[in-house]
Structure 1
Amino acid sequence: MRSRNTPDDMPENPPGEAPGTPGGPTPGNPAPGPSTPGGPTPEDPAPTEQTVVLRPRLARIAGYTIGTLVLLASIVMALVVSGGPVSAPNRVLYVLFGAAIFWFCHREASVAVTARPDELVVRNLFTTRRLAWAQVVGVSFPAGDPWAHLDLADGETLSTMALQRTDGDLGITQARRLARLVQERGTAAVDS
């Protein structure tokens, strides 16, 4: 059995960040409130009413950069290469190949976890799954795994490609945030 690190088992503050910065108020960092900038205002909905979208950073940068470069290279090849066995259908195939690579890179770059007030939507590379909050019992980030997992009430685990270890502290912070949302919204779903 492999060890599982939950986001709560990981250090509260990423290396190089002052203690208390993201986790709560300190003398130099008061809790956001009506008197602090960025704090809730009477018009703002309660935190559990908001939709939160979690996405990877490096996968988006790499996916769109590589996809764009391959698509542009295939278009240039289709326009520049001439004569010989390169006929019009072959030129179209060059562009279609570049478009297919771009589509795949777009799918990789657009993975996301969307936490809506009433459901959790996990968009991975080829699948999208909608879950009621009561179906999710926890979030884990197993040591050595490339992304976080949702532990479901039926005993299954669901990979969340949007929360990636390659994003370093951002991935861990997002996993912690999702774990808090699961605790808040899952409990609210059970209570109602």
Structure 2
Amino acid sequence: MTTYRPGGTRIIAYGVAVVILVVAFAIGAALPENIVFTGSQIGTLVVIYLGIVVGLHGIARSHVRASDAGLEIRNGYRTHAIAWSEIRGISMPPGAPWPTLLHGDDERIMLFALQRSDGPRTAKAVDELVRRIR
């Protein structure tokens, strides 16, 4: 079983989450003492931050897992399991940010875990997946 995960995208997603938290605390510490946040304001900021983190984590946790049975594709919080016999093709045209898998009756699934920004690593992964299609 081979698992492909985004490279730089994961680092950026988790890095942004940390930077947002550090900046929020730095701004809070730099505010004058006469400015005080209420409990509901702090709660709102925490909920917004957690929403951002959930979105970023969804991006970072994406993967494509190839086994003898087929592909398991996790894009964010949704997982697809597709047998090799159902896959009609994988394409990554010039300029596309990630490859597209075609299966079934013209259904398409984006492979978010394989980012063009990862360069040759993604090209190699797409080539390996295309070779496995029966």
Give the TM-score of the pair, scaled to structure 2: 0.84
Residue 67 of structure 1 is matched in structure 2 by: 17
2:37 corresponds to 1:90 = no
1:57 deviation in Å?
0.8
Question: Bigger radius of gyration, 1 or 2?
Answer: 1
What SS does the corresponding residue of 1:162 show, helix, strand or coil? coil
Deviation for aligned residue 1:65: 0.5
CA distance, structure 2, for counterparts of residue 55 and residue 180 of structure 1: 19
Give the whole-Å Cα distance in 2 for the aligned partners of 1:117 and 1:70. Answer: 41
Equivalences, count: 132
Of Structure 1 and Structure 2, the greater helix share is in: 2
| Residue type at the aligned position of 1:70 | I
Q: Which has the higher contact order (CA 8 A, sep 6+)?
A: 2
Which segments of 5 or more consecutive residues in structure 1 lack a partner in the other structure?
1-50, 188-192
**Structure with the largest fraction of strand:** 2
Task: Note if contact 1:135-1:154 (Cα within 8 Å) is conserved in structure 2.
Answer: no
Partner AA of 1:71 in structure 2:
L
Please tell me whether the aligned partners of residues 124 and 161 of structure 1 are also in contact (alpha carbons under 8 angstroms). yes
- Aligned CA RMSD, in angstroms, stands at 2.1
Structure 1 match to 2:124? 173
Distance 1:121 1:152 in 2: 13
Task: Give me the identity figure in percent.
Answer: 27
Gaps of 5+ in 2: none
SS at match of 2:101: strand
- 1:112 maps onto 2:112 in alignment: no
Q: Secondary structure at the match of 1:161?
A: coil
